């Protein structure tokens, strides 16, 4: 059995080891907030790569909000589950209403985390899409499908810990999946962390700012050396 990670930062350092081969591709690192940000921060710092967030919100079916009839992501990309839409006879009005509601939440969180900075341009780039773990993988799957709409060259999903079936699901969607640990007795993501306290909005904002500052300093030193 794998040993638990001390915390998300520790898990990020372990994941960075597993993702090392992508460093030469000058990747963009995107995290699913909030828990994915501390993990992704360690990866981005190791690779001196840009770090940002991909916010994904589930579109809950009417009267069955636990069922995802789709998802909306940062930038407005929408993924729909036609099977659920048809099964529950979701009207166009109901879909528009739920999409508008979740779009407002995506916009709110984007403004909170990013301010007036534009989202990173991923067109033609390798993207490392990171979270703190995978159970079913449904949210990550929606994130990958939404990200495809922005024409990245390659989408690589990376997580420190995953259920074997979650990792398998993602392999059908992403170009490559890197799951540092896939224990047979998975049960829950939080079981594999000694400290699994909820990541706060403030921590997300501070880590994104720290990553930008470190890249700026690294770029300045590189220019001086050149």
pTM greater than the 0.95 cutoff: no
Residues 50 and 155 in one domain: yes
Domains held by the chain: number: 2
CA angle 104, 109, 113 (to 5 degrees): 150
CB 35 within 8 A of CB 11: no
Residues 106 and 159 in one domain: no
First to last CA, the chain: 47
Query: End of a domain among 114, 133, 151?
Result: 114
The neighbour count for residue 130, using CB atoms within 10 Å, is 32
Residue 1: inside a domain: no
Q: Could you give phi then psi for residue 74, rounded to 5 degrees?
A: -50, 140
Q: Give the CATH number for residue 158.
A: 3.40.50.2020
Residues 31 and 130 in one domain: yes
- Write out the residue range of the structural domain in which residue 105 sits: 57-114
The tens-digit pLDDT sequence of the chain (226 residues) is 667 899 999 999 999 999 999 999 999 999 999 999 999 999 999 999 999 999 999 899 999 888 889 889 888 888 888 999 999 999 999 999 999 999 999 999 999 999 888 888 999 999 999 999 998 787 898 899 889 989 999 999 999 999 998 898 899 999 999 999 999 889 899 999 999 999 999 999 999 999 999 887 666 455 566 6
């Amino acid at each position: 059995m794998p040993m638990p990670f001390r915390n998300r930062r520790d898990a990020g350092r372990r994941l960075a080891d597993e993702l090392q081969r992508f460093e030469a591709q000058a990747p963009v690192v995107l995290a699913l907030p909030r828990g994915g940000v501390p993990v992704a921060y360690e990866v981005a710092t190791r690779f001196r790569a840009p770090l940002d967030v991909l916010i994904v919100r589930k579109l809950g079916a009417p009267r069955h909000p636990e069922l995802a009839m789709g998802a909306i992501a940062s930038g407005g990309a929408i993924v729909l589950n036609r099977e659920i839409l048809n099964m529950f006879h979701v009207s166009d009005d109901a879909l528009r209403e739920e999409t508008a509601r979740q779009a407002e939440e995506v916009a709110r969180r984007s403004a909170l985390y990013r301010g007036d900075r534009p989202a990173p341009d991923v067109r033609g780039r390798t993207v490392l899409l990171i979270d703190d773990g995978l159970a079913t993988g449904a949210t990550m799957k929606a994130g990958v499908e939404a990200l495809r709409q922005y024409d990245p060259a390659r989408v690589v999903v990376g997580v420190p810990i995953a259920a074997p079936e979650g990792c398998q699901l993602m392999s059908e969607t992403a170009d490559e999946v890197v799951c540092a640990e896939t224990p047979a007795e998975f049960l829950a993501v939080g079981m594999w962390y000694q400290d699994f306290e909820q990541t706060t909005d403030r921590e997300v904002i501070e880590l994104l700012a720290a990553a930008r500052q470190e890249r700026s300093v690294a770029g300045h030193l590189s220019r001086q050396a050149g």
